[in-house]
Structure 1
Amino acid sequence: MSRTRGHAAETAACAFLQAQGCTVIGRNWHCRYGEIDIIAEHGGTLLFVEVKFRQKPSFGGAACSITPAKLAKLLTAAELYLQQHSRPDAPCRVDAVLIEGGNAPVWIQNITG
């Protein structure tokens, strides 16, 4: 059940990002460090997007589920993606799309600060 919800949330996040002018390059890119939910491009910047869905905003909601450990894995996976795709100097950032219940997605840009 949660896998189906997760896939639906990622599909909604892709549609949302495209409506904001992003071009989705890939989804669910896997490597030994983990998975990048969405890889997109926006205004010449490569985006590595973490999608988080929570049915209810309990326990801090979707944003609180991006832990420092998860962020570290995401950064390492993004670095590997850049190396493997011959884009080591590409402008890039790590973003998140948060979806809580039936609310509209929220796009948080540059979650690494």
Structure 2
Amino acid sequence: MSLLNKLAIGHKYEAKAQRYLAKQGLDFIEKNFHAKCGEIDLIMKDKQEFVFVEVKYRKQQHYGSGVDAVSHSKQLKIKKTAMLWMMKNNLSPSHTYFRFDVISLSSDPEKVEWIQNAIVEG
């Protein structure tokens, strides 16, 4: 599969995750925030809490769900990137409510797995 196809699939499922979270009452802030250390797929806001969302798509579940694909090293990159986003937006991590969620999607259009606080800060 070409890189363009992978990017198109990624954007399609990120948009689906964004719509799903909006239906759950979260407000959209930003998508695909890039830094040298990594990328945040979606940044949403749940009342007063910023939510950094990793979106994972699995066509098949043979090797586990999308949640299983968020390795420890990926978690560290997400955390570091989120801290940079907060600094860029003049938000202090010690005075800002935030969490890390994972949305796992599959080829089943009805199945959305939303894990809140999937990545524990620390």
Task: Name the aligned partner's letter for residue 15 of structure 1.
Answer: R
Task: Name the aligned partner's letter for residue 83 of structure 1.
Answer: M
CA apart distance, 1:104: 2.3
Flag the structure with larger Rg: 2
CA distance in 1, matches of 2:113, 2:65: 12
- Name the counterpart of 1:22: 26
TM-score of the superposed pair, with normalisation by structure 1? 0.95
Render the CA deviation track for 1:33-82: whole Å, top value 9, x for unaligned. 11000000002100000000010111112111100000000000011111
Unaligned 5+ runs, structure 1: none
CA distance in 2, matches of 1:62, 1:47: 18
Percent same amino acid at aligned positions? 28
TM-score of the superposed pair, with normalisation by structure 2? 0.89
CA distance in 1, matches of 2:119, 2:15: 23
Instruction: Indicate the RMSD between aligned Cα atoms, in angstroms.
Output: 0.9
- The number of residues matched between the two structures is 113
Task: Name the aligned partner's letter for residue 49 of structure 1.
Answer: V
Unaligned 5+ runs, structure 2: none
Q: Does 1:59 align with 2:63?
A: yes
CA distance in 1, matches of 2:12, 2:119: 25
